[in-house]
């Protein structure tokens, strides 16, 4: 299991955000960033190579197609709450569109990112990293 991210925002006076009340696209917005940070952290921890190679590894793991594949592994592992957040994110109507992915992959990735954001905002980074690890173990893409 990867270590907890242990982010400390003391001194920034951040508002207390109720993850259960946040819109699914807001959850996906923060989830996208947190997931990418987790992936980059894992990649640099496992590989000693030039930044361009690190970036290629990370890019393969954060693209919508890969996240969509990860959902196949994670759906049976999701709690009922996580599944509900996933479905809210997947079904959310976004004004942006998929650039390099099918609409199905894009929506499933948005649902995945919503779960990551929800777990992060709830302070459940250990659970978030556990799910990421299980998806990596089952997937063809490895960090």
Q: Which residues are catalytic?
A: 32
Q: Report d(CA 32, CA 114) in Å as an integer.
A: 8
Q: Which residues of 5-28 are buried (b: 16+ CB within 10 A; e: fewer)?
A: eeeeeeeeeeeeeebeebebbbbb
Q: Report d(CA 123, CA 119) in Å as an integer.
A: 6
Q: Report d(CA 87, CA 92) in Å as an integer.
A: 8
Q: Which of 69, 36, 50, 64 is nearest to 143 (CA)?
A: 36
Cβ contact 117:28 at 8 Å = yes
């Amino acid at each position: 299991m990867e270590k907890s991210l242990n982010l400390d925002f003391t001194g920034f006076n951040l508002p207390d955000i109720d993850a259960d009340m946040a819109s699914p696209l807001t959850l996906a917005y923060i989830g996208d960033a947190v997931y990418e940070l987790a992936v980059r952290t894992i990649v640099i921890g496992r590989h000693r190579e030039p930044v361009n190679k690190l970036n290629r590894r990370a890019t393969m793991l954060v693209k919508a197609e890969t996240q969509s594949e990860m959902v196949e592994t994670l759906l049976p592992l999701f709690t009922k709450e996580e599944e509900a957040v996933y479905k809210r994110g997947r079904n959310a109507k976004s004004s942006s569109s998929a650039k390099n992915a099918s609409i199905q992959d894009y929506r499933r990735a948005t649902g995945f990112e919503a779960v990551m954001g929800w777990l992060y905002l709830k302070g459940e980074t250990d659970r978030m990293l556990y799910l990421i690890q299980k998806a990596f173990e089952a997937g063809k893409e490895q960090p």
